[in-house]
A and B are shown apart, each in its own frame.
Chain A
Amino acid sequence: MKPPAFTYHRPATVEEALATLDRVGPDGKVLAGGQSLVPVLNMRLAAPGHLVDINRLTALSYIRAGNGSVRVGALARHADVGRSPAALPLMRQATAHVAHPAIRNRGTTVGSLVHADPAAELPAVLSLVDGSVSLASTGGVRTVAAAEFFTGPLESAVRPGELAVEATFPVPPPGTRSAWLEVSRRRGDYAVCGVGVLVTLDPGGRVTRARACYISVGPTPIVVDLTDAAPDWDAAGRLAAAAVDPGDDVHATAAYRRHLVRVLTARACAMAVADD
């Protein structure tokens, strides 16, 4: 359970980091919080020749709200996002379910997006708000929408030589409430099923839009529009359960995961609307 040997790089600037990533190419891996990467190395599931440690790029540790979105830099830790007044309420609600405090103190939100674990919370939040990730390289910066960013289980659109420098979470319309619920075998463990919801109410309290995202029930985060069923949240739960296609695995059967999608959807929507 010790990581394989690698060559360590500790760039002092983003430019230096990009130059190093460009030089090492497919044999390089970015080390941010490392809370997913280091277990993978310890278990020898990966053996990159070069690690590019971005922990000194403190200019990237920001969480900023403005111009209709929340921007999270590559070095913002989960714990920072979880207590940031600039973060969306759903970002804070979901972050409370990311592993444990000791992991959240080091792990980064953008790192979790790049890792693209289908059981991770923030990729689903980014998908639900139609957010995007900015990928920098020596060739420039490209921005990839969440819908194209998560390409498979543990697979994202990041190419060799690229550094995910920022994630953008657009602010939902005024009157939008949110909630996050999940079920896991142990507190902080991978979710058997997790649900995030955004419910938009007009000034009269009528639901104008309801959407939900799901984790651990597919290879990538799944977003389902529940507006047609609202405000009958039991019907919304049934709609969602019909829309997902979870698989069986050692942790839960597909039928149980589908059951959780139905029940947690109804509960989360009711919670979001009740929340004042």
Chain B
Amino acid sequence: MTDHVVNLVVNGVPHEVRVPARRLLSDCLRHDLGYTGTHVGCEHGVCGACTVLVDGAPMRSCLLFAVSVDGSSVTTVEGCRAPGGGLGPVQQAFQDCHGLQCGFCTPGFITTITAYLRENPDPTEAQAREAIGGNLCRCTGYQNIVASVLRAAALVREPAP
């Protein structure tokens, strides 16, 4: 089985990597490229912890082969920071609302919510719940994550001074 050359732009930085076809995007990001912010939970698409944005759309990186998304732009949680550094709006909202405890699931939530707010900048509470329906959290009971979605929406609409 031959290796394949894969080109990915991760958080704006171009990378060329040589991987076997069976390399999952999640493992390529973590092990080949060092983006360990992407967490791997269930590895069969249920938990959502490994969610990254592929050309802007949230996808499960554990259900993609790196070779299959050759040429794509990928955004991981590391790419969700503020443009000038520091916490991005969704990250800030999680801090403000205590939206995480152990933090294992958080990268998947941050990427999912970042993409969702581009689609719907002013969600209702019900829409916020629906938006995070594909991400599991075993600590928080979700209430503070729902609050974080609404807080993040407010921060995106009107950035804090």
A interface residues (Cβ-Cβ under 8 A, vs B): 1-8, 10, 31, 34-35, 38-39, 42-43, 51, 53, 55, 79, 99-103, 105-106, 187-188
Q: Is the CB of B134 within 8 A of A8?
A: no
- When chains A and B are docked, how far (Å) is the Cα of A51 from the Cα of B67? 12
Chain B residues within an 8 Å CB radius of A38:
24, 45, 62-65
Chain A residues within an 8 Å CB radius of B65:
3, 8, 31, 34, 38, 53
- When chains A and B are docked, how far (Å) is the Cα of A35 from the Cα of B45? 8
- When chains A and B are docked, how far (Å) is the Cα of A51 from the Cα of B4? 14
Count of chain B residues with a beta carbon within 8 Å of a chain A beta carbon: 30
Q: How far is the CB of B145 from chain A (nearest CB, A)?
A: 14
1/0 per residue B100-133: CB within 8 Å of A? Answer: 0000000000001000100000000000001101
B8-16, B52-60, B151-159 - the one binding chain A: B52-60
Q: Is the CB of B63 within 8 A of A8?
A: no
Known: A42-B44, A102-B134. A3 touches B64 (CB 8 A): no
The DSSP consensus for interface residues of chain B is mixed
Q: Is the CB of B1 within 8 A of A5?
A: yes
The DSSP consensus for interface residues of chain A is loop
Chain A residues within an 8 Å CB radius of B57:
79, 105
Identify 9 new A-B residue pairs, CB closer than 8 A, beyond the known A38-B64, A102-B51, A106-B63. Answer: A2-B24, A7-B1, A34-B68, A35-B45, A38-B65, A99-B45, A103-B63, A105-B54, A187-B130
Q: How far is the CB of B55 from chain A (nearest CB, A)?
A: 10
Looking across the interface, which residue of chain B has its beta carbon closest to that of A189?
B46
Chain B residues within an 8 Å CB radius of A4:
22
Q: How far is the CB of B72 from chain A (nearest CB, A)?
A: 10
- When chains A and B are docked, how far (Å) is the Cα of A4 from the Cα of B42? 17
1/0 per residue B17-44: CB within 8 Å of A? Answer: 0001110100100000000000000111
B48 on interface, CB distance cutoff 8 Å: yes
* Listed residue (B45, B64, B67, B130) with the most chain A CB atoms within 10 angstroms of its CB: B45
* Listed residue (A42, A99, A101) with the most chain B CB atoms within 10 angstroms of its CB: A101
Q: How far is the CB of B77 from chain A (nearest CB, A)?
A: 14
Known: A53-B68, A102-B51, A102-B112. A5 touches B22 (CB 8 A): yes
